[in-house]
Structure 1
Amino acid sequence: MFISDRQWKWWLPLALAIPFFCSCRTYNGAVAPYYEAVSQGRFEEASTQLDKARFFRYNRNKLLFNMEKGKTAFLQGRYHESNLYFNAADSILSGRSRSRVLDQTLGLVVNPAMQIYQGEDFERLLIHYYKSVNYLQLHQLEDAEVEARRISLGNYALNDRKKNNDKKYSNDAFSLIVQGIVYESAGDVNNAFIAYRNAADIFLKSPDRRYYGVDMPAQLQVDLLRTADQLGFQQEVQYYEQQFGRVHQRSADNDGGSVLVIWENGLAPVKAESNFFFTLTERGPGNFVFTDPNTQIFIPFDFNLFPRDSCDRLRRHLEAFRVAFPSYIEQPLYYTTADVQRDSTFSTTLEKVEDVNQLAFRTLQERFLKEMGLALTRLAIKKLAEYEIRKNDEVAGELFNLFALLTEKADTRNWQSLPHSIYYSRIPLKRGDNKITLTLKGKGNTQKVEFNVIGNGRLQTLHYASLQKS
């Protein structure tokens, strides 16, 4: 094929742009050394690998960089450093480093992986969880309370985005439980009660009292009844006793206080790329839909988005085509349950309080039609541009078509050092030294981890992460 001087104006920019916009690697593949290190507990190495990764040099990936760095610092017990990164992540979420119009244009014209990463809804709320635990570990209770109030703002924003739709992820029970823990740690029993009550009400409104893979924790029920009783709210005590099917029993005064044991188990799912193939069909006069080969998916397409003369061209030229879309791959668990024991006098099983794995899969499913509609619009725009180019230069049109094919890519970014699930339980302490033993159990695998906690009459937090994959 001979390329004229005039056609070089298409060849050269496209040749230069293709390596920038196109890559077969997913986010997980781009940061593989980091991911391997963090999954094997080599957190110092994982932090170093983050600094080396070229992927994070682009401003669009800075949120991910700060979330991953904040988590690795948290895992190393560097709580102040961890919050520096999480504060930077908060700043990115509250600001805009490029105009919203430009960002959305890049997503429509090229692919969504070129947009500034804004995080999944549950990822944003989990930033507050880590910051709250960091402040508690640093004994900065006032800062922890400020973060607790920001949890309310995060839930309000989530509810607004989902238009108060109880059938979608419009509230986050776990973040409200964390809020209650923070308030109770700071001695604010009234606000702790409100947070626990709000969390419990989310479960009570859900089918089978199960919210995104989590049954209502018995610990939450105990905490709600206890704080209501402490405040003298006997009407609320009686109401929730009836709702929970349990009777509140006042525990004996415990001069050592208690410790909340938090266990982060496994790793969150990673995003991969899936390909969907669609054709444009007419279902009644002027009623066009995109449908897959098995006719199981129907997505309406509004030709009113385009000029009338463009509609006819789209109908003629949009034949079978490919759409890249993200999908999750679950990471298998090495451990499945955990028990915690204090000395030889008290033991209990940790309860699941957050299922990040379920949240990831289900929230992606909830927004499938909306995001697939955007992907189809993106392809339509590219097809119209190709048609206009072909009218003047067939070779240039072919080149643009090649560019469109190579840039059709799913956004596979997600916060991959998050746990698969989070478990917790509250352990009473005696005054002075307490030996806490955490026993992790899997298929033929058992690990014991010991801690010494000094009972001081207050509520304390203790966290442990086992990120291995089976």
Structure 2
Amino acid sequence: MKPGQTLRSMFLLLPAILLAGCATYGAGINGAIQDVQKGDYAASEAKLQKALNPTGNDRLLYNMELAVVKHLQGDFAASNVLLDKAERIAEDLETTSITGSMVTLMSNPRQGPYGGADFEKVFINYYKALNYFGLAQLAADRNGYYDALEGARIESRRLIIRLNDLNSRKGTYAEQNDKEQQTFTQLLKIFEKLQGNLVDMDRLEYRDDAMAHYLTGISFEMNGEYDDARISYQKAAKSYEGGFSKQFRLDAEMTEQAWFDTIRMMQKAGGYKTESRALAKKKLSKARQAELKNWTADKAQIIVLEHKGLAPHRKEMSLELSVNPALQALEIRPYFFGNDKAQLAWFYVLYADKNIFDAVANYLDAAEVGYWFNSFTKTVPIGPLWNTAQDMGLLSAIGESMRITVPYYSPVKPMGESTLSVDGERSLMLKSSNPALMAVQEQMVNSSTDIQLALARSSLKALTAQSVASASGGGSLGGILSMAGKLTAQLTDAAETRNWLLLPGDIRIRRVAVEPGEHTLALDSTLSAGQRHSAQTQVNLQAGDIHLWRVRSLPPLAGAAKESEVKQLIKVAE
């Protein structure tokens, strides 16, 4: 084949380059997720074991995903064995830096081990606590029941340690609010707005988890440790109130529920008579103050916890990197024929120039590319380093353009209401946590690092390809080798698209006080696109019992028609 024909063939590979990002982690385990939606957990487990390596780079995800499948099966002990392994792996990876790994830089982030997001590590302990609650309800005798509750209590302590560590690293919501009141910080934010920055990354940091605090409160209450329960419920209330509820778009009533339970524990622990009355007047509505009288020792409690929907898939976006000599800058743009509206929106909000430098770029380049195109441009001025970049061959290695990849999430669509019926008396479930938004916001916080690493990775590959061509002696052969090396490098480039996909999209909760005896519980849940699922169970409770009913509401597969199949889409672990 002649050199010209070779080059033309290489350019025909461009669509393949842009489609290379399709092989994401989500696509790899989609079949296993579909089996969970069908209720076929054995098939899902088999597919996960085939797709993920328990000792490879996906070992953390292997244990976390399988643990959820075991949890849904009701095999809580096996689920906790997997979660114990996941916790050890996550801790090991926290102390092992892979940032400087040459393999990762020269290929893509998926070649390194997945260490998990901060909120995912919290959910490891969260699920372990839920498994212990499940073991308690399955216990054959009172000793087994209390042993399982002790396990939940220990896991709650671990959750507290992890949340305290999170607070120490990222600051509490109260500390963030104090920071925002400082005059200098306010001035900085004014000038940030003048520059056109749309995203305040400090507000998107995952710095606490009110729902995790609330779960530890339930654990301590079940163990009869009422003062410890009070502390956990109060931490949950302050977290919801301080910013957690607003950040993750949760129901405002959840804050009042956490204060309600704080006051209940103050009354139950004793010694807080004056404080509890004052707090009730300050934090509770008249109706909730009156309701406190119904929560007496001769009643039983029902807590309904709904895990709703699925976590969003992290995806990959292809971007074009080019050189702008007039500005002595690098420019990054989306491939308009390869990206959808969600990708363009992500790029514009997080990357596109929206400051005075953008106006300069528009003015200098308007005759060539137009104003509209420049509104989807990220300019990276290298100024004093321009000559260095030229001398090391970076600018020539980039050439006309080069592909880089970054991760992103599509917008998360909110799900509808969930309604609980207890013996026919209906009440709305409260949105208490939102893992889907946690994932999206954490990715937004990391977006600056994502694009820096993508630039460094692709540039290093391009320089390596160019050096191979130079070593061949240049000429036509050298040009072909350079182009081949550059295309190969771009075909192998990939963004980090791994995340814990069997987590719920959001979490809802409702607790009610009931008389001892038999009760019929029903949950009617509206998911995305108006899909509705329902679940039902019966319980027989004694005075003082606290019964936790866990429901996983999952969207049906497209085209699911049989009523028997639809009923399997809800897994109820009693």
Q: Structure 1-normalised TM-score?
A: 0.84
Q: Within 5 A, what are the aligned runs for 1:234-249?
A: 234-235=274-275, 238-239=278-279, 241-243=281-283, 248-249=289-290
Structure 2 match to 1:76 = 73
The answer (yes or no) to whether the contact 1:270–1:331 under 8 Å persists in 2 is no
* 1:289 shift after superposition: 5.4
Q: How has the CA–CA distance of structure 1 residues 338 and 294 changed in structure 2, closer, same or farther, with 3 Å as cutoff?
A: same
Q: Distance in 2 between matches of 1:161 and 1:407?
A: 35
Structure 2 match to 1:420 = 505
Q: How has the CA–CA distance of structure 1 residues 173 and 388 changed in structure 2, closer, same or farther, with 3 Å as cutoff?
A: same
Q: Which among 404, 428, 450 is matched to residue 323 of structure 1?
A: 404
Correspondence 1:124 to 2:132: no
Q: Distance in 2 between matches of 1:57 and 1:179?
A: 30
Give the CA RMSD over aligned residues. 3.2
What one-letter code is carried by the residue in structure 2 that aligns with 1:222?
F
Q: Which among 396, 400, 411 is matched to residue 485 of structure 2?
A: 400
Structure 1 match to 2:567 = none
Q: Distance in 1 between matches of 2:412 and 2:540?
A: 32
Q: Distance in 1 between matches of 2:38 and 2:429?
A: 23
Q: Which among 149, 153, 158 is matched to residue 161 of structure 2?
A: 153
* 1:70 shift after superposition: 0.4
What one-letter code is carried by the residue in structure 1 that aligns with 2:451?
M
The answer (yes or no) to whether the contact 1:330–1:357 under 8 Å persists in 2 is no
Q: Which among 501, 506, 523 is matched to residue 438 of structure 1?
A: 523
* 1:126 shift after superposition: 1.1
The answer (yes or no) to whether the contact 2:418–2:524 under 8 Å persists in 1 is yes
Structure 2 match to 1:213 = 249
Q: How has the CA–CA distance of structure 1 residues 236 and 404 changed in structure 2, closer, same or farther, with 3 Å as cutoff?
A: farther
Say which SS state the counterpart of residue 423 (structure 1) adopts.
strand
Structure 1 match to 2:105 = 108
Structure 2 match to 1:468 = 555
Measured against aligned partners, the alpha-carbon deviations of 1:214-268 in whole angstroms (never above 9, x if no partner) come to: 1331422321222233344333652464255556332232424212111111111
What one-letter code is carried by the residue in structure 2 that aligns with 1:400?
G
The answer (yes or no) to whether the contact 1:433–1:455 under 8 Å persists in 2 is no
Correspondence 1:251 to 2:248: no
Say which SS state the counterpart of residue 339 (structure 1) adopts.
strand
Measured against aligned partners, the alpha-carbon deviations of 1:380-421 in whole angstroms (never above 9, x if no partner) come to: 222222232222122543342232111111222111111111
Structure 1 match to 2:432 = 353
Q: Distance in 1 between matches of 2:381 and 2:458?
A: 12
Say which SS state the counterpart of residue 100 (structure 1) adopts.
coil
Q: Distance in 2 between matches of 1:143 and 1:311?
A: 62
Measured against aligned partners, the alpha-carbon deviations of 1:302-349 in whole angstroms (never above 9, x if no partner) come to: 79999947765224443532221222246778x7222223324x4422
Q: How has the CA–CA distance of structure 1 residues 119 and 96 changed in structure 2, closer, same or farther, with 3 Å as cutoff?
A: closer
Q: How has the CA–CA distance of structure 1 residues 294 and 161 changed in structure 2, closer, same or farther, with 3 Å as cutoff?
A: farther
* 1:212 shift after superposition: 1.0
Say which SS state the counterpart of residue 336 (structure 1) adopts.
coil
* 1:111 shift after superposition: 0.8
Say which SS state the counterpart of residue 56 (structure 1) adopts.
coil
Q: Within 5 A, what are the aligned runs for 1:5-404?
A: 24-53=22-51, 55-56=52-53, 59-96=56-93, 100-101=97-98, 104-139=101-136, 140-162=148-170, 167=203, 168-206=205-243, 210-216=246-252, 217=254, 218-231=256-269, 232-233=271-272, 234-235=274-275, 238-239=278-279, 241-243=281-283, 248-249=289-290, 250-252=292-294, 253-281=296-324, 288=329, 290-292=331-333, 294-296=374-376, 298=378, 300=380, 308=388, 312-318=392-398, 319-329=400-410, 336-344=416-424, 346-393=425-472, 394=478, 395-404=480-489
Structure 1 match to 2:541 = 454
Q: Distance in 2 between matches of 1:206 and 1:212?
A: 9
The answer (yes or no) to whether the contact 1:228–1:237 under 8 Å persists in 2 is no
* 1:467 shift after superposition: 1.0
Q: How has the CA–CA distance of structure 1 residues 199 and 298 changed in structure 2, closer, same or farther, with 3 Å as cutoff?
A: farther
Q: Structure 2-normalised TM-score?
A: 0.70
Q: Distance in 1 between matches of 2:377 and 2:263?
A: 47
The answer (yes or no) to whether the contact 2:404–2:490 under 8 Å persists in 1 is no
What one-letter code is carried by the residue in structure 2 that aligns with 1:322?
R
Q: Distance in 2 between matches of 1:159 and 1:97?
A: 17
* 1:206 shift after superposition: 2.4
> Tell me, which stretches of 5 or more residues in structure 2 are unaligned?
4-19, 137-147, 177-201, 334-372, 473-477, 559-574
Measured against aligned partners, the alpha-carbon deviations of 1:104-162 in whole angstroms (never above 9, x if no partner) come to: 43332211111101112221111111100111221212221221111122223333444
Q: How has the CA–CA distance of structure 1 residues 119 and 251 changed in structure 2, closer, same or farther, with 3 Å as cutoff?
A: same
What one-letter code is carried by the residue in structure 2 that aligns with 1:328?
Y
Q: How has the CA–CA distance of structure 1 residues 115 and 387 changed in structure 2, closer, same or farther, with 3 Å as cutoff?
A: same
Say which SS state the counterpart of residue 501 (structure 2) adopts.
coil
Q: Distance in 1 between matches of 2:450 and 2:276?
A: 43
The answer (yes or no) to whether the contact 2:110–2:496 under 8 Å persists in 1 is yes
Say which SS state the counterpart of residue 393 (structure 2) adopts.
helix
The answer (yes or no) to whether the contact 1:435–1:450 under 8 Å persists in 2 is yes
Q: Distance in 2 between matches of 1:34 and 1:301?
A: 45
What one-letter code is carried by the residue in structure 1 that aligns with 2:409?
Y
What one-letter code is carried by the residue in structure 2 that aligns with 1:326?
P
What one-letter code is carried by the residue in structure 2 that aligns with 1:323?
I
> Tell me, which stretches of 5 or more residues in structure 1 are unaligned?
4-21
Q: Distance in 2 between matches of 1:378 and 1:91?
A: 30
The answer (yes or no) to whether the contact 2:94–2:115 under 8 Å persists in 1 is no
How many residue pairs get aligned? The number is 446
Q: How has the CA–CA distance of structure 1 residues 96 and 446 changed in structure 2, closer, same or farther, with 3 Å as cutoff?
A: closer
Q: Distance in 1 between matches of 2:401 and 2:543?
A: 68
The answer (yes or no) to whether the contact 2:389–2:395 under 8 Å persists in 1 is no
Measured against aligned partners, the alpha-carbon deviations of 1:33-74 in whole angstroms (never above 9, x if no partner) come to: 211111222222211222232x43661011111111100010
Structure 2 match to 1:17 = none
Larger Rg: 2
Say which SS state the counterpart of residue 460 (structure 1) adopts.
strand
| Percentage of pairs with the same residue | 24
What one-letter code is carried by the residue in structure 2 that aligns with 1:343?
D
